[in-house]
């Protein structure tokens, strides 16, 4: 198989993966909000698998550029989700949904491989196994990425839910400078790749990705688009 075909297939396999992983993440937030008493998420159709409701253009681009991503945040009623514990449950609902899907599909893939399902990135029946793996990988990737303490991600929202009352001014200032913080993070990631020849994302996602991958796949495995980008958040 030529390098171009390998590149094309690896990129195309991300399409069904993101059409599942991103809606699953946002539906996880919606389900958590519903459990907490916010019925508006169901009324406004956030239990639908229609990807157009959840896909964010920049989040989709990030999937192909960095193998991480995000979707449009599900709006909730502040009067229904107001306490610290409610905020924590709501924020962790998205990553939890990705983890559950990754674990279920991981056990399914391992069972299918034991039954003789071929696994390859060639134009063959083995591509089915590869497609299932990419769905698992992207769910694991979004799970780990969203737990990072970066403003706008679930990990930061968890920190804010716990500590905002102690220092509201700090969190207000951080939120007003979210764009600058993201630009700074992108520059740092780029410079790290340039000078270290490795993905900084792979390093910082290790604490979350490794145990989740071990549970789901029985080992820690990353993914790459040959000749373009790779993400391997596993211990060396």
pLDDT digits (tens, 9 = 90+) for 165-219: 899 999 999 999 999 999 999 999 999 988 888 899 999 999 999 999 999 999 9
Summarised one tens digit per residue, pLDDT across range 99-156 is 999 999 999 999 998 988 877 777 777 789 999 999 999 999 999 999 999 999 999 9
Q: To which residue do tokens 């979350």 refer?
A: 208
User: Distance between CA atoms of 210 and 219, rounded to whole angstroms?
Assistant: 8
Beta-carbon neighbour count of residue 89 at 10 Å? 18
Following DSSP, what letter does each residue of 127-181 receive, concatenated? HHHHHHHHHHHHHHHHHHHHTSS-TTSHHHHHHHHHHTTT-HHHHHHHHHTHHHH
Question: By the 8 A CB rule, do 146 and 154 touch?
Answer: yes
* pTM (global) more than 0.75: yes
Cite the active site residues: 26
């Amino acid at each position: 198989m030529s390098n171009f075909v390998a590149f094309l297939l690896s990129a195309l396999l991300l399409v069904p993966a993101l059409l599942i992983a991103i809606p699953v993440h946002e539906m996880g937030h919606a389900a958590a909000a519903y459990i907490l008493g916010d019925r508006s998420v169901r009324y406004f159709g956030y239990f639908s698998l229609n990807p157009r409701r959840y896909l964010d253009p920049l989040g989709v681009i990030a999937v192909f550029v960095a193998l991480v991503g995000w979707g449009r945040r599900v709006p909730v009623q502040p009067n229904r989700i107001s306490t610290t514990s409610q905020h924590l449950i709501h924020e962790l609902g998205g990553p939890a949904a990705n983890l559950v899907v990754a674990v279920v599909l991981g056990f399914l893939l391992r069972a299918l491989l034991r039954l003789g399902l071929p696994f390859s990135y060639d134009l063959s029946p083995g591509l089915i196994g590869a497609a299932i793996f990419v769905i698992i990988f992207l769910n694991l990737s979004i799970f780990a990425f969203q737990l990072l303490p970066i403003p706008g991600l679930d990990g930061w929202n968890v920190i804010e839910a716990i500590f905002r009352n102690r220092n509201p001014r700090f969190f207000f200032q951080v939120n007003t400078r979210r764009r600058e913080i993201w630009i700074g993070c992108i520059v740092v990631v780029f410079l790290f790749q340039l000078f270290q020849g490795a993905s900084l994302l792979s390093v910082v996602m290790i604490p979350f990705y490794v145990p989740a991958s071990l549970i789901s796949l029985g080992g820690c495995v990353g993914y790459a688009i040959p000749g373009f980008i790779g993400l391997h958040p596993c211990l060396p």
